């Protein structure tokens, strides 16, 4: 049984972070996203979240460009369409080049809607097997604060901690922190800040004790990543380099990485992400689910993704209260003994508090 989308809505969320999020690329003090809702003829509603940033520091998309594409390009393509499976949305959107974050927001909402139609939690609908997902936190702060932040995360029960690094970061300071917590997994995220000239500097982080180093070089620097994989003992993980299943194949062919970060927003939604998961399984490539300083709608989709078999490393899953005074979902996501329990309710499993969100211009259209 398929669905016919009757109505699509866009609402804006803009809230300050409790603590600034700092990386070598940008400092984020306030976050704006677009919550997408799709409603079928029976009245069921699916939700997605567009997580592009205000400026193009992470990808070429921005929240402003996504708003335009959502309202004026993608929405008209959905007009009058009936879908037998949510992956058909991906096929429909092939007529539009790029704009993966905008596409992902609508596609994710349709997957949520289909799961609700089938009376299944989204994680079951996509083939998930885990009922609880291990929680991981990202520490993006000044070096003087890292030790305290790690201690706080450990006390809160997080099982994995990711630390932002760059060529000026002192690896010896980080090694002393990592050594103090042998029971925790530590990731390093370089956000592409290293290059050919300071390659030897990257090698100094090989003895810190990190499980992996994420995106040491620029997103198209396949040869440098292959060189790092060959020369370092620490596993090399690619994030910004992976925007399609073809990019994963490129990584495999060039032996440029051991692990892939799965980000549905960067890949364009569930359909392409599931193709990436399948390819990684076939080639024994490690996987984990990355975050985008998102609200609960996007995080609920990511939790469903993290429940799939083969995704072995803990992802970017913090409690709602980590970034926000109040999330946009009910109940809020919380961490219990280092894990987040997956909801047994249908779809994403959370109620979305749309009453307190701001409508976008031309925010709703009925078909």
Tokens of 115: 């799961």
Predicted local confidence at residue 360, as pLDDT: 58
| Predicted pLDDT at 288 | 97
Per-residue pLDDT at 166 = 93
* 307: Cβ contacts below 8 Å, ≥ 6 apart: 123, 128, 129, 130, 131, 133, 342
Q: Coil, strand, or helix at residue 346?
A: coil
| Separation CA 190–CA 171 (nearest Å) | 12
Contact 252, 227 (CB under 8 A): no
The pLDDT assigned to 10 comes to 95
- How far, in Å, CA of 78 to CA of 90, rounded? 11
Which residue stretches of the chain have pLDDT < 70?
1, 23-26, 356, 358-367
Whole-number pLDDT of residue 21: 72
Q: Among 217, 214, 216, which Cα is nearest to 237's?
A: 214
Contact 338, 158 (CB under 8 A): yes
Tokens of 42: 């029976």
Quick check: is 263 catalytic? yes
Residue 144: the pLDDT is 78
Q: Give Cβ neighbours of residue 122 (< 8 Å, ≥ 6 apart).
A: 111, 112, 115, 300, 301, 304, 346, 347, 348, 349
- DSSP letters, 84-139, are SSTHHHHHHHTTS-S-HHHHHHHHHHHHHHHHHHTT-BHHHHTT---SEEE-EEEE
pLDDT value at residue 367: 39
DSSP character string of 193-230: ---STTHHHHHGGGGS--SEEE--S-TT-HHHHHHHHH
**pTM recorded for the entire structure:** 0.93
Catalytic residue among 11, 162, 263, 299: 263
In the 8-state DSSP scheme, what is residue 233? S
- For residue 343, the 8-state DSSP code is P
Question: 87, 116, 159, 164: which one is catalytic?
Answer: 164
Say what the pLDDT of residue 361 is: 40
């Amino acid at each position: 049984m398929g669905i016919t989308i009757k109505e699509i809505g866009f609402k804006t969320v803009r809230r300050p972070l409790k603590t600034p999020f700092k990386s070598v690329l940008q400092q984020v003090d306030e976050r704006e996203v677009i919550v997408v809702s799709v409603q079928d003829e029976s009245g069921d509603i699916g939700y997605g979240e567009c997580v592009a940033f205000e400026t193009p520091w992470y990808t070429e998309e921005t929240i402003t460009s996504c708003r335009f594409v959502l309202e004026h390009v993608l929405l008209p393509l959905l007009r009058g369409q009936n879908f037998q499976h949510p992956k058909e949305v991906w096929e429909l959107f092939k007529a539009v080049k790029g704009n993966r974050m905008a596409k992902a927001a609508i596609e994710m909402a349709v997957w949520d809607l289909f799961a609700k139609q089938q009376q299944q939690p989204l994680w079951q609908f996509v083939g998930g097997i885990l009922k609880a997902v291990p929680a991981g936190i990202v520490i993006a702060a000044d070096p003087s604060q890292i030790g305290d932040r790690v201690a706080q995360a450990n006390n809160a029960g997080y099982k994995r901690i990711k630390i932002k690094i760059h060529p000026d970061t002192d690896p010896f300071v980080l090694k002393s922190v990592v050594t103090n917590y042998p029971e925790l997994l530590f990731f390093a995220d370089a956000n592409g800040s290293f290059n050919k000239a300071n390659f030897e500097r990257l090698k100094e982080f090989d003895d810190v004790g990190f499980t992996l180093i994420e995106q040491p070089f620029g997103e198209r620097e396949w040869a440098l990543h292959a060189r790092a994989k060959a020369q370092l003992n620490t596993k090399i993980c690619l994030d910004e380099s992976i925007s399609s299943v073809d990019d994963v194949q490129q990584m495999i062919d060039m032996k440029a990485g051991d692990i892939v970060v799965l980000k549905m927003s960067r890949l364009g939604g569930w359909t392409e992400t599931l193709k990436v998961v399948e390819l990684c399984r076939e080639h024994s490539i490690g996987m984990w689910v990355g975050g985008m300083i998102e609200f609960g709608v996007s995080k609920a989709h990511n939790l469903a993704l993290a429940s799939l078999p083969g995704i072995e490393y803990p992802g970017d899953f913090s409690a709602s209260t980590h970034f926000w005074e109040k999330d946009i979902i009910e109940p809020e996501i919380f961490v219990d003994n280092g894990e987040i329990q997956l909801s047994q309710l249908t779809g994403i499993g959370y109620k979305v508090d749309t009453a307190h969100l701001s409508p976008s211009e031309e925010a709703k259209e009925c078909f």
